[in-house]
């Protein structure tokens, strides 16, 4: 009886996964949203029944995905399927929210790397080079449009061309960033559904409590100094490492800074709209993001949030 229920539920989860996969692959715009829902059927199935039935479900969805989505569907199913297995098992073991995020991030990063290497070796297609080519064609189109209006190529287009060239050197950073962001967003969505279904999901702590080890500050300062010295401008191995490390460390400093803003808002009982708007401004205004990173640096170096807490107690 139990085996029948497990198999029946597995068939339902496979059907749900297939439906979400079809939307993700074939429906524009909506697919960008459903893409983050893809791991959920596997997560909840592993959470309820364990890793072994989950492996069977993964085998089924991989087979179905190949017939439904072809060469587009199969890699995507593998990417989210294995990640869903890992996340579901971590949920089942009642690991902390950050442990689930770390495990999911590692799973998605490794899968992304395997798919990237497989695309180059098996298909002879480098996804980064394809992306660069598409962006170059867009720049050429924009440049021709400017010329047709009697204007010269703008400085912004030249800067964009330089960014396209850098893209090929920052493959590692892009893979890591994509894996972590996918793990984070899909975990937040999964937590919402799991809570509504009555499961005790491992939620991430509030952003105001997020904090990175102080060692990241030293990494950031060392890498920044090396970048200022021009060691990220050549084609050496050190340059590649710096080009990939620097933006990741900048993101970490920004997250630390946003955590300070959320903490300050919480301490002052300011509406949640204020820190959310700070995040929005940080995403669209580089100068504001620079200030946020400085906040993060100060917090890591001098325990800014602890001082804010002490000031509140004294007042």
Q: Between these two residues, 84 and 309, which has the higher pLDDT value?
A: 84
Do 177 and 234 fall within a single domain?
no
Domain assignment present for residue 273? The answer is yes
Do 25 and 60 fall within a single domain?
yes
Question: Could you tell me the residue range of the domain that residue 124 belongs to?
Answer: 1-128+171-204
CA distances from 40 to 109, 181, 185 (A): 18, 16, 12
Q: ∠ at Cα 253 (250, 257), nearest 5°?
A: 135
Domain assignment present for residue 313? The answer is yes
Do 42 and 191 fall within a single domain?
yes
Do 285 and 310 fall within a single domain?
yes
Domain count, the chain: 2
Domain assignment present for residue 196? The answer is yes
Do 229 and 200 fall within a single domain?
no
- Output the six-digit token pair for 134: 């598409």
List, for residues 271-308, the tens digit of each pLDDT value.
889 999 999 999 888 899 999 999 999 999 888 888 77
Domain assignment present for residue 147? The answer is no
Do 264 and 278 fall within a single domain?
yes
**Could you tell me the pLDDT band of residue 157, with boundaries at 50, 70 and 90?**
low
Compute the Cα dihedral for 83, 84, 90, 93 and give only its sign.
Answer: negative
Do 14 and 97 fall within a single domain?
yes
Do 195 and 79 fall within a single domain?
yes
Do 185 and 213 fall within a single domain?
no
CB atoms within 10 A of CB 206: 11
**Could you tell me the pLDDT band of residue 146, with boundaries at 50, 70 and 90?**
low
Do 254 and 282 fall within a single domain?
yes
Least Cα distance to 64 among 94, 21, 96, 101 occurs for 21
- Output the six-digit token pair for 153: 């190529």
Q: Residue 205 half-sphere exposure, CB side, CA atoms within 13 Å?
A: 11
**Could you tell me the pLDDT band of residue 145, with boundaries at 50, 70 and 90?**
confident
Do 212 and 179 fall within a single domain?
no
Do 116 and 74 fall within a single domain?
yes
Q: Residue 67's domain is classified under what CATH number? A: 1.10.1760
Domain assignment present for residue 105? The answer is yes
């Amino acid at each position: 009886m139990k085996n029948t229920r497990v198999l029946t539920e597995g068939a339902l989860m496979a059907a749900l996964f297939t439906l979400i996969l079809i939307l993700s692959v074939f429906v524009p715009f909506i697919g960008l949203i459903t893409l983050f829902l893809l791991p959920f059927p596997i997560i909840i199935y592993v959470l309820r029944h364990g890793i072994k039935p989950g492996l069977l479900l993964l085998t089924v969805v991989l087979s179905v995905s190949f017939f439904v989505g072809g060469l587009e569907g199969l890699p995507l199913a593998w990417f989210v399927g294995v990640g869903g297995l890992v996340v579901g098992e971590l949920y089942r073991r009642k690991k902390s929210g950050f442990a689930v995020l770390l495990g999911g991030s590692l799973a998605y990063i490794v899968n992304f790397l395997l798919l990237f290497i497989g695309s180059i070796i098996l298909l002879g297609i480098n996804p980064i080079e394809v992306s660069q080519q598409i962006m170059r064609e867009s720049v050429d189109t924009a440049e021709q449009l400017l010329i047709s209006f009697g204007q010269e190529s703008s400085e912004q287009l030249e800067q964009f061309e330089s960014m396209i060239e850098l893209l090929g050197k920052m493959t590692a950073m892009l893979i890591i960033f994509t894996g972590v962001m996918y793990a984070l967003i899909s975990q937040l969505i999964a937590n919402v559904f799991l809570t509504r279904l009555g499961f005790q999901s491992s939620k991430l702590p509030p952003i105001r409590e997020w904090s990175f080890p102080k060692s990241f500050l030293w990494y950031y300062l060392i890498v920044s100094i090396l970048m200022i010295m021009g060691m990220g401008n050549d084609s050496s191995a050190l340059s590649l490492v710096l080009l990939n490390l620097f933006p990741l460390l900048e993101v970490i400093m920004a997250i630390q800074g946003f955590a300070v803003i959320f903490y300050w808002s919480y301490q002052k009982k300011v509406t949640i709209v204020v820190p959310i708007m700070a995040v929005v401004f940080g995403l669209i205004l580089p100068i504001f993001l620079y200030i946020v990173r400085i906040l993060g640096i100060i917090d890591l170096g001098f325990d800014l949030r602890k001082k804010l807490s002490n000031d509140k107690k004294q007042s």
